[in-house]
């Protein structure tokens, strides 16, 4: 009988239906609770014999503990199909029989969808339910769900087999939402119009939507009308046309031939369809599509497994959750991407499975594990998590973050870098207008988190946060500050202060983008109520810069200029950093006001550029920072609309009382050189600012000329005393250049008397230059060189003054010499013979001046400790 049953595989075998009915009757008997024997000892032997015979019918060897029939043949067997049809009912209705059959059943469920060709082939581990029919898939999944729900499976060998079954379910869902793995290379493929055989004689076809249609098995019918196409034999269409009149028997035979040909053609087409699969055009993986019920049953099976044995699921937990989020994120039908709710659709089942699983595992540190996991496409993953928890009161999206923070309080990891990255992706998906009470509860936990975070990065030998880590934390904090009920919490200011303290420490070790700082400072300014509280974060950042320029703290090299740019942006100045949004309000220009005199001291200090170079190994940092801070002071000084010198008296009162050449104090020359340098930096800052920036009134032109006159008059005697004094000539001539450009810009945009004051300025300075030329040949050469550089600079900026005064200035070059020296003549000729045909770029000239002044200060600082008398 067993041999007869085992032979009944052919679909057209007349005995097949009889076998199916017999096995169905047997399965119905097993599903009956009354079939369980009352006298177990008396009937155990008989029952064991029956099950052993039935296993033989299924092709299962009880001695070898494996199947001896290939899966493809077993899928067609009447015995197997009849048993699978009643298996869910057996497992559900008769637990005693189910427990006896369980070892065999789980192996059957593993073997049935396997793609292996022979029973003796090595077991395949990575396959889906694609080879089962839709009806069989449903029965397979229902059986697995019942096993997971009603039976114990935590002991070997059943536990290992259950893990394999779960792997099949996960693979089924993964194939439903195919995603190319990293490192997979695209294959060379042809289109439908380019069907060619490769070297193996196997044709490959490509659908227009980048899905490869690849022939995977050979058609077998050997009959007339079958044509060999590579490795596949396809029916050749035959058209039979009647020729004239023919006898009835002939017509009947032809009709019969046509019917047979049509049947053969249909059979060949079915074979071709079965021999082709859709494949990904990039990685060549098979593309499989399953019906909604199959997907839903797979999800129910996974949720049941996670609920029953979370410890067994731990190694593949993330794979399961990630696959489920991919299902939610990849719509099967148009209505999936809308707000329309369709009962019993797989996407709703996936969302329910996800949130129920997360809620069930929330007490097992699932939040910390998830956030501390490297996730492909994290934006899509966390968007789906937030979407799934959005209407789930038991675990709201905000409470999910609170659980994470509670887990961190209990167990602080070695690094929170990955956690903050994932949290930044997640939190931006949560509405700030909903979940009012959960947001309020979260504030206290965040305060504790930032205090612990600050401690972790402040200890000795701690790894400082990276730029990405800092900016992810800023994203999190900025979003929290935008919460509608932020001020309703018990300690919003305490949270902001804890964050500001952490941010100040983080600025020491890594670069922070300007846009990130602007965003969080603006969010703080808008979130809090009291004026002092509004500037909490801004004040902390600016204070850190002030500590750094006094060398009481050390910032990351890029953060010096970034914070200075933040101050200038708030003051309404143009900066070189492109910003996507201009609606920032940080109050940074107000926060720096108490420190402006310290900023002036920094600008006046000759040695700060050298110190910054030693810290950052950058030649340009000191000059860039000085000019930025000078611009901030220039903007603040020019805020007064009055045309008087009150701001000058407040910030640089010494400008109003230049020293006298005849009654100079012992240290007046050195102080004057310092003041000339400060004026040069202030004018550089003003020229970098908008056109309306006039920190020094044009009316102070006379005082400016008196300072330069004093420096030039004393240079011949004082220059030999120290290296600092030797640089006085350089700074005096550069101040002349800057004041000329400054006055010409004022004449163009705001002052009608600026040019007249400029003429008066040069009328006072020129005699001092002529007087300096009379001392010696060496000194005359130095003065001529600086003066010629001044002419060249004014030519570069297309100065209107140069046209008027050049005829007066030319004799200066020959005041000491009867003729201009050759090296100066060549430079003068280049100025005269190469007029500029394009509009000058003042900004480029300002960069060169800034760099030259910085380099002279750097060199003077390096030499002055050794040569100062």
DSSP symbols for 696-747: S-GGGHHHHHHHHHHHHHHHHHHTTT-HHHHTHHHHHHHHHHHHHHHHHHHH
Q: Do residues 383 and 519 share a domain? A: yes
Tokens of 650: 């407040």
Q: Do residues 477 and 573 share a domain? A: yes
pLDDT at position 103 is 86
Q: Do residues 575 and 679 share a domain? A: no
Does 356 fall in a domain?
Answer: no
Does 615 fall in a domain?
Answer: no
pLDDT tens figures, 403-415? 999 999 888 888 8
The DSSP H or E segment spanning 44 is helix 40-58
pLDDT tens figures, 790-831? 888 887 888 888 777 766 666 666 655 555 565 555 555 555
Residue 757 near residue 701 (C-beta atoms within 8 A): yes
> HEC profile for 390-427?
CCCHHHCHHHHHHHHHHHHHHCCCCCCHHHHHHHHHHH
Tokens of 380: 């899509």
Smallest Cα–Cα separation from 319: which of 256, 369, 386, 389? 369
* Better pLDDT: 642 or 690: 690
In terms of Cβ atoms closer than 10 Å to its own Cβ (0-12, 13-18, 19+), residue 267 is middle
pLDDT band at 496 (very low <50, low <70, confident <90, very high): very high
pLDDT at position 240 is 39
Our separate counts of H helices and E strands in the chain read: 38, 7
Does 420 fall in a domain?
Answer: yes
Print burial letters for 711-724: b (CB count within 10 Å at least 16), e (below 16).
bbbbbeebbeebbb
pLDDT at position 682 is 94
pLDDT tens figures, 569-614? 998 888 888 887 778 889 999 999 999 999 999 999 988 999 998 8
pLDDT tens figures, 172-215? 998 888 887 655 444 443 333 333 334 344 334 333 334 444 44
Q: Do residues 373 and 456 share a domain? A: yes
Mean pLDDT of the chain: 79
Coil, helix or strand at residue 231: coil
pLDDT tens figures, 4-59? 444 544 445 566 667 777 777 777 777 777 665 555 666 666 666 666 777 777 77
In the listed set 592, 613, 630, which residue is the last one of a domain according to the structure? 592
In the listed set 550, 572, 592, which residue is the last one of a domain according to the structure? 592
Residue 561 near residue 555 (C-beta atoms within 8 A): no
Residue 454 near residue 410 (C-beta atoms within 8 A): no
Q: How far is CA 264 from CA 10, 14, 215, 222, 834, in A?
A: 18, 22, 20, 10, 91
Q: Do residues 679 and 532 share a domain? A: no
CA distance 480 to 474: 10
Residue given tokens 């080879």 in the structure block: 131
The DSSP H or E segment spanning 234 is strand 232-235
Q: Do residues 572 and 670 share a domain? A: no
CA distance 470 to 516: 9
In the listed set 592, 607, 633, which residue is the last one of a domain according to the structure? 592
Q: Do residues 557 and 672 share a domain? A: no
CA distance 629 to 682: 9
pLDDT at position 763 is 86
Q: Do residues 582 and 656 share a domain? A: no
In terms of Cβ atoms closer than 10 Å to its own Cβ (0-12, 13-18, 19+), residue 528 is buried
Q: Do residues 559 and 679 share a domain? A: no
Domain tally, the chain: 3
Share of the chain above pLDDT 90, in %: 27
Q: Do residues 577 and 707 share a domain? A: no
CA distance 766 to 329: 77
Q: Do residues 586 and 708 share a domain? A: no
Average of pLDDT values for 699-714? 87
The whole domain housing 861 covers 644-866
């Amino acid at each position: 009988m067993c041999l007869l049953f085992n032979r009944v595989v052919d679909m057209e075998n007349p005995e097949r239906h009889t076998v199916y009915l017999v096995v169905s009757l047997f399965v119905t008997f097993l599903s009956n609770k009354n079939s369980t024997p009352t006298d177990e000892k008396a009937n155990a032997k008989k029952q064991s014999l029956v099950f052993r015979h039935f296993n033989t019918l299924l092709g299962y060897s009880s001695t070898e503990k494996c199947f001896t029939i290939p899966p493809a043949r077993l899928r067609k067997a009447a015995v197997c199909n009849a048993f699978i049809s009643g298996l869910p009912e057996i497992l559900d209705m008769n637990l005693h029989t189910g427990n006896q059959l369980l070892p065999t059943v789980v192996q059957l469920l593993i073997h049935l969808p396997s793609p292996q060709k022979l029973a003796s082939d090595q077991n395949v581990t990575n396959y889906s339910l694609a080879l089962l029919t839709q009806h069989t898939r449903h029965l397979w999944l229902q059986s697995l769900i019942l096993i997971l729900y009603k039976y114990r499976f935590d002991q070997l060998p059943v536990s290992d087999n259950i893990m394999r079954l779960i792997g099949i379910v996960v693979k089924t869902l993964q194939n439903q939402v195919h995603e190319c793995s990293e490192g997979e290379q695209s294959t060379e493929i042809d289109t439908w119009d380019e069907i060619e055989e490769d070297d193996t004689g196997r044709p490959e076809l490509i659908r227009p939507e980048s899905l490869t249609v690849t022939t995977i098995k050979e058609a077998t019918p050997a009959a007339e009308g079958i044509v060999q196409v590579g490795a596949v034999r396809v029916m050749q269409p035959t058209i039979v046309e009647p020729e004239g009149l023919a006898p009835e028997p002939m017509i009947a035979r032809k009709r019969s031939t046509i019917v047979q040909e049509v049947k053969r053609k249909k059979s060949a087409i079915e074979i071709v369809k079965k021999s082709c699969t859709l494949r990904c055009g990039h990685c060549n993986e098979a593309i499989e599509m399953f019906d909604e019920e199959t997907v839903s049953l797979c999800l129910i099976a996974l949720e049941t497994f996670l609920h029953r044995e979370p410890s067994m699921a731990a190694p593949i937990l993330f794979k399961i959750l990630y696959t489920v989020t991919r299902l939610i994120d990849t719509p099967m039908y148009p209505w999936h991407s809308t707000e329309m709710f369709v009962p019993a659709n797989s996407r709703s089942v996936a969302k329910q499975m996800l949130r129920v699983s997360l809620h069930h595992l929330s007490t097992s540190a699932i939040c910390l594990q998830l956030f501390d996991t490297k996730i492909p496409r994290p934006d899509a993953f966390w968007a789906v998590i937030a979407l799934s928890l959005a209407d789930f009161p038991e675990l709201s999206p905000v409470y999910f973050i609170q659980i994470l923070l509670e887990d961190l309080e209990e167990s602080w990891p070695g690094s929170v870098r990955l956690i903050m990255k994932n949290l930044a992706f997640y939190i931006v998906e949560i509405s700030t207008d909903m979940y009012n009470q959960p947001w309020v509860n979260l504030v206290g936990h965040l305060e504790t988190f930032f205090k612990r975070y600050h401690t972790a990065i402040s200890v000795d030998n701690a790894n400082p946060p990276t730029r990405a880590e800092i900016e992810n934390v800023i994203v999190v904090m900025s979003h929290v500050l935008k919460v509608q009920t932020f001020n309703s919490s018990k300690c919003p200011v305490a949270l902001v202060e804890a964050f500001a303290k952490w941010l100040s420490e983080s600025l020491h070790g890594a670069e922070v983008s300007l846009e990130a700082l602007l965003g969080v400072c603006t969010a703080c300014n808008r979130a809090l109520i009291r004026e002092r509280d509004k500037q909490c974060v801004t004040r902390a950042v600016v204070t850190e810069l002030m500590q750094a320029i006094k060398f009481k703290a050390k910032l990351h090299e890029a953060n010096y200029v970034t914070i200075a740019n933040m101050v200038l942006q708030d003051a309404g100045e143009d900066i070189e950093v492109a910003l996507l949004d201009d609606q920032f309000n940080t109050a940074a220009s107000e926060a720096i006001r108490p420190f402006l005199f310290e900023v002036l001291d920094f600008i006046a200090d000759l040695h700060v550029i050298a110190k910054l170079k030693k810290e950052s190994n950058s030649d340009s940092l000191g000059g860039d920072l000085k000019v930025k801070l000078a611009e901030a002071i220039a903007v603040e000084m020019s805020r007064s609309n009055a045309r008087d010198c009150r701001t000058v008296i407040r910030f640089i009162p010494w400008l109003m009382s230049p020293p006298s050449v005849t009654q100079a104090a012992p240290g007046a020359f050195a102080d004057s050189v310092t003041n000339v340098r400060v004026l040069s930096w202030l004018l550089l800052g003003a020229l970098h600012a908008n056109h309306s920036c006039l920190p020094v009134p044009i009316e102070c032109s006379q005082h400016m000329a008196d300072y330069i006159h004093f420096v030039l008059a004393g240079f011949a005697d004082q220059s030999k005393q120290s290296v600092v004094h030797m640089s006085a000539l350089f700074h005096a001539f550069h101040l002349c250049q800057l004041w000329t450009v400054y006055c010409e810009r004022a004449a163009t945009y705001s002052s009608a008397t600026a040019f007249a004051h400029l003429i008066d300025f040069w009328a006072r300075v020129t005699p001092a230059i002529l007087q300096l030329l009379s001392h010696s040949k060496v000194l005359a050469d130095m003065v001529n060189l600086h003066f010629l550089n001044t002419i060249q600079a004014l030519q570069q900026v297309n100065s209107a003054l140069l046209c008027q005064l050049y005829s007066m200035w030319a004799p200066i070059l020959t005041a000491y010499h009867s003729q201009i020296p050759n090296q100066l003549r060549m430079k003068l000729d280049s100025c005269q013979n190469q007029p500029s045909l394009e509009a000058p770029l003042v900004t480029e000239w300002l960069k060169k001046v800034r760099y030259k002044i910085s380099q002279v200060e750097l060199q003077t600082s390096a030499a002055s400790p050794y040569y100062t008398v």
